[in-house]
Structure 1
Amino acid sequence: MIFQMIHPFLLAQRHTTVLKGFVKKELYGRYAGSYAGVFWIVLEPLANIAVFHFIFSYVFRVRFDAAVSGTESFTLYFLCGYFPWLIFSDAVVRSASSVVGNAGLVTKVIFPVELLPLSSVLTPFLTHGAGFFLYLLYLVAKGSAGPSWLYLPLIVATHFVLCCGMAFLLSALVVFVRDILQSLGILMMVWFYASPVLYPLSFVPEPIRSWLWANPMTYALTCFRDVLLNGSFHWTIFALFAMKATVLYALGSWFFTRSKRAFADVL
């Protein structure tokens, strides 16, 4: 079981050149034909940050209790959850069609199919990760950096494992049930509002709050905000986040490995 879980990463290490090729294809495919090219990776998040800052600071003027949310600025609070959510959402949506979208490749070329969902996860970590890095620079400029930031790589790595789990599970399921692609937009919309991206958990009534803790993204966003905004790190919350991410990854990698032999027949 453990070997099966680490097998996709071993394949990625063994076929680094192929994986880089898939990632480059997705990156350049996204910005093909544009004059700015890959510079949009920086320009787009900068525009988002500027727009959100203007709307929530000067139009709606939303303010939070710093003792509860870690900051009075709704913009800072929102962006701290928005970029991790964007990475997760984009990874899920892109990976869902990663196998069926490369049907000709899967059926005619012998290569590790696991690289397709992996590349679909790495791409949003590069694109939206650039926006998250700009957000971190802004926090540093405000003097908000602290010792708790040392835990950030641990949280990002766990977030990556969670995204990989969803990627393997969905990319394999879509091969057999194409309706998932049609319903994915609705699913991600519901999932967005069921995750504390726009609101602190303290705003949610207690009976409903317990249901939100069943969502692994609730743990992810809480960990990011604790470390970046509250200057703290709660091992219990992180341990539950890591457990949910590992279980989902184990399920996704197991299902992908068991079903990939049938991909060529179904596609």
Structure 2
Amino acid sequence: MQLPSLFSHYYLIKEFSKREIFSRYRGSVLGIWWALLTPILMLLIFTFVFGEIFQAKWHGGSGNIAEFSVQLYAGLVVFWFFNEVITKSPGLIVSQSNYVTKVIFPLEILPVVTLIGSLFHLLINLAILLIAVAAVYQEIHLSILALPLIILVTMPMLLGAGWIFSALGVYVRDISTLIGVFMSMVMFLSPIFYPIEAVPQWSRWLFEINPMSLPIEWIRGCV
């Protein structure tokens, strides 16, 4: 896939991206505010279950539930970004059959549109994370300036995965279900609920081959 090809479809990508972002909330009472409320509600649920019921403490931390929530959310932010792109990809071409079968349509833009929609939610989640960091630690380090670089590093990888899975989804319909199950497994095999230092040495290779592990650790290092 060549970048000039994508740039030539800039207007189409822009319009489809706007539809991708806003169509999800169209007709709901709170509208786009759900993009802000949903991650906050999910964070509260995860914090209650793991922090209060399971009494989970952050490895090497102070044991404060607020600190646990911040570290947990840093991991969830990355997972949600990956999960949205990867789980949507297999159905992208199939779901747009009205465009694909009737006109000459640039299929390569569909994963780009999904990535942009996911990026919109990622930026909201990162804003929530930074507010939480400021509230819990009473300071924000200059290292947060590296956050855009982390995002830029992950985007080509996710876009490549989107192109691959969207193509496979046309021929192997079961892949949507398989990816859903796989991502549920990956969620617990990623350093989301715990730092990678807490993983036994013999099984650490599972986390080293996990493409989410490094971005999660990088973002935690920034905040």
Shared fold by TM > 0.5?
yes
CA–CA distance in 2 between the matches of 1:170 and 1:187?
A: 13
Alignment gaps of 5+ in structure 1 = 229-267
- What pairs with 1:1-267 in structure 2 (closer than 5 Å)? 4=1, 7=2, 9-66=3-60, 73-141=67-135, 142-228=137-223
Contact map agreement 1:62 1:73 (CA 8 A) in 2:
no
Could you list the per-position Cα deviations for residues 72-103 of structure 1 after superposition, in whole angstroms to 9, with x for gaps in the alignment? 82111110010111010011111221111112
C-alpha distance 213-33 of structure 1, shift in aligned 2 (>3 A): same
Q: Structure 1: which amino acid aligns with 2:93?
A: V
Alignment gaps of 5+ in structure 2 = none
Query: Shift of the alpha carbon at 1:36?
Result: 1.3
Q: How many residues align?
A: 221
TM-score calculated relative to the size of structure 2: 0.88
C-alpha distance 75-170 of structure 1, shift in aligned 2 (>3 A): same
Query: Shift of the alpha carbon at 1:182?
Result: 2.3
Contact map agreement 2:93 2:110 (CA 8 A) in 1:
yes
CA–CA distance in 1 between the matches of 2:66 and 2:26?
A: 40
TM-score calculated relative to the size of structure 1: 0.74
Query: Shift of the alpha carbon at 1:167?
Result: 0.5
Contact map agreement 1:22 1:119 (CA 8 A) in 2:
yes
Q: Structure 2: which amino acid aligns with 1:16?
A: Y
Contact map agreement 2:61 2:67 (CA 8 A) in 1:
no
Contact map agreement 2:59 2:194 (CA 8 A) in 1:
no
Question: Higher mean Cα deviation, 77-86 or 94-103?
Answer: 94-103
CA–CA distance in 2 between the matches of 1:221 and 1:68?
A: 20
Identity level (%): 28
Query: Shift of the alpha carbon at 1:66?
Result: 4.0
Contact map agreement 1:95 1:170 (CA 8 A) in 2:
yes
C-alpha distance 106-140 of structure 1, shift in aligned 2 (>3 A): same
CA–CA distance in 2 between the matches of 1:36 and 1:198?
A: 30
C-alpha distance 35-218 of structure 1, shift in aligned 2 (>3 A): same
Contact map agreement 2:70 2:132 (CA 8 A) in 1:
no
Query: Shift of the alpha carbon at 1:187?
Result: 1.1
> Where is the helix percentage greater, Structure 1 or Structure 2?
1
Contact map agreement 2:17 2:117 (CA 8 A) in 1:
yes
SS in 2 for 1:167: helix
